[in-house]
């Protein structure tokens, strides 16, 4: 417990040079050349910040790591549908990607919950979102928003337009299946929904709530 607290506390100031997800992907396919370039908060477009919040966790600014209303909705949905819906917050996804393995189990979920609480207590919301954007997977071997921006749109993370940001956020449920630069009808429709949600949340003004 002390070791985990120390690790999380250090990452309040020190950028993680890798993640457990990157290590896991490397071991599963050693032929893949991983791409990742860290970008600080001010060098990332506000468009992608609000896009991933709109797509993944619209209550991000207000919850303490767990969105219980989203969990309740997911449980009701999963009782009557074959397609499982998740309810992980951005904080939970950071906990899993940085510190844990990806396979589903109650043990991993319990440890994930512990790291999620630590992150909420020791990091600011801005720091959590910054690490999320720099660690999330956006394709085979493509980690972090700078690598994704360069690979798909040939621009820096700072230059992403609202539409490009919406497309990138739209593929996050299965980033190794879909291509935001060549979106099919489903991704285009989802990206439009995300773009509308970005406006409904207040656009860049939403980010002012993050401490």
- Domains of the chain, CATH where assigned: 2-209 (1.10.3810.10)
Distance CA 177, CA 139 (A): 8
Quick check: pTM over 0.95? no
Distance CA 135, CA 128 (A): 11
| SS3 state at 137 | strand
Q: Rounded to whole angstroms, how far apart are CA atoms 66 and 178?
A: 28
Determine the average pLDDT of the residues in 123-131: 97
Could you tell me which of 156, 171, 163, 168 has the C-alpha nearest to residue 195?
A: 163
- Mean per-residue pLDDT for 120-130? 97
Q: What is the pLDDT of residue 77?
A: 47
DSSP state of 136: -
| Assigned token pair, 158 | 């700072």
């Amino acid at each position: 417990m002390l070791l985990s607290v120390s690790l999380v506390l250090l990452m309040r100031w020190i950028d993680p040079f890798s993640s457990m997800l990157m290590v896991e992907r490397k071991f599963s396919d050693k032929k893949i050349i991983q791409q990742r370039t860290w970008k600080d908060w001010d060098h990332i477009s506000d468009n992608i910040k609000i896009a991933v919040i709109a797509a993944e966790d619209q209550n991000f600014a207000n919850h303490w790591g767990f969105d219980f209303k989203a969990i309740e909705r997911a449980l009701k949905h999963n009782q009557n549908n074959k397609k499982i819906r998740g309810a992980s917050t951005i904080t939970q996804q950071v906990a899993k990607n940085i510190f844990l393995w990806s396979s589903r189990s109650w043990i991993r979920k319990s440890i994930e919950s512990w790291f999620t609480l630590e992150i909420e207590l020791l990091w600011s919301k801005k720091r959590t979102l910054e690490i999320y954007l720099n660690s999330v997977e956006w394709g085979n071997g493509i980690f972090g928003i700078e690598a994704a921006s360069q690979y798909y749109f040939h621009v820096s993370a700072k230059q992403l337009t609202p539409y490009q940001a919406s497309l990138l956020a739209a593929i996050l449920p299965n980033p190794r299946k879909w291509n935001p630069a060549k979106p099919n009808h489903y991704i285009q429709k989802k990206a439009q929904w995300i773009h509308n949600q970005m406006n409904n949340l207040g656009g860049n003004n939403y980010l002012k709530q993050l401490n």
